[in-house]
Structure 1
């Protein structure tokens, strides 16, 4: 595995629960098998990023 979240969070100077939330979100994010990266944010992702309300 790796280092405990509490140790990494302390090294980064953030609360362990903040880091734990980021780790959980990263584990839920689908990853492209070819690039090893999450898909780009766009219209197909269902995200509302970049849209404005009027």
Structure 2
């Protein structure tokens, strides 16, 4: 299964890895913080560059 993931799914992923839960949690924490108080109505993809492929 790992070989299939590497050769098929991650082959076209720019950074060659999946986004980790810790990375996603950091984005959520930022969006819940005062530092993100002015961010409204936008999409913030956390996809490791998938659309760039």
State the TM-score, normalizing by the size of structure 2.
0.27
Q: Which has the higher contact order (CA 8 A, sep 6+)?
A: 2
Which structure has the bigger radius of gyration? 1
TM-score by length of 1: 0.27
